[in-house]
Amino acid sequence: MSNLSTIGVIGAGNVGAAIVNALVLRNIGKEIILYNRDKKKAIAEAMDIDDTIPLLSEMQVSATNSYKDLENCLIIAITVGARQKENETRLELLERNSLIIKEIVKELDKVAPEAILLIVSNPVDILTRVAQNFSIRENKKIFGSGTVLDTSRLRYQLGKELHVNRKNVHVHVVGEHGDSEFAVWSNAIIGSIKLDEFPLEKGVNLESIKENSMQIVKRRAYEIIEKKGYTNFGVAVAVVKLIQCVIRDERKIFSVSVGANEEYGLKKGVVLSLPCIIGSQGVIHRLILSYDDKEKKQLENAARSLDDAYNKIN
């Protein structure tokens, strides 16, 4: 695949606009189409971002409120979601967002049945499953942004703690994209050395480093939301990395929201964040990680929780 591709982004809110902006800054794609029900909002965001193009590489950003305009997209990122109302339960909010995703997928199945759908809306694991079960396209062409950002946060933090470049830190955050997510420490490596065998400075405790790093990862979004009301820039770049991987067929490994492999022994159809090879056809291969007993239980608990939530809305 070439970089000269058309990319769709559904939703001109904080996350959707940040994704379009990051695509332009990184020069990913030939044309970006921003869809929003309120076309004036989409036009305003597209115009504002379009003003950066004379200072950067040539590409096109356009706005629409018609799904038909997305028919030539290779990949479409879906960022829309209802805001929680006063006194509304999380389950009620999930039900509303599930209906929104179903409506979007129905329209995209008509106009762009071959496009890859990247679900960004939260709760991303459950809504990815909703999209997969409602769409006519193959499951490999629908995946969620999962724990890509969480994994990158952990690798960066662990690299800081160990005084190693983050690119040499290999560990995955998996499970639910949420409070129950966990790091697969049992097969973490630094370069080609197992984390448990990596030489530490005198007096440094590895377990403390692990716990501290994971706590920082889990608290990060809460701290940002507490201070500014939402997160958008970090997740936008994570999504753009996935989009780039698809349109350039890079076949890199990311922890994304997918149906679990049979080998994990989880209930069929459960979607959660697991490492996959991503390329021009979407999910090229779902990789199988080895887990210790504690991690296996954490994965099973995450799968059970996500399955229960899904079944309550379907």
Kindly list the catalytic residues.
177
Answer whether 120's CB lies under 8 Å from 79's CB. yes
Q: What type of residue sits at position 140?
A: K
User: What is the rounded end-to-end Cα distance, in angstroms, of the chain?
Assistant: 37
- Torsion sign (Cα): 301, 251, 153, 45: negative
User: How far out from the chain centre does Cα 174 lie?
Assistant: 12
Report helix angle 293-312 to 124-134, nearest 10: 60
DSSP state of 260: P
CA–CA separation, 65 vs 288, rounded Å?
40
Identify the H or E element spanning 131: helix 124-134
Contacts of 187 (CB under 8 A, 6+ apart): 289, 290
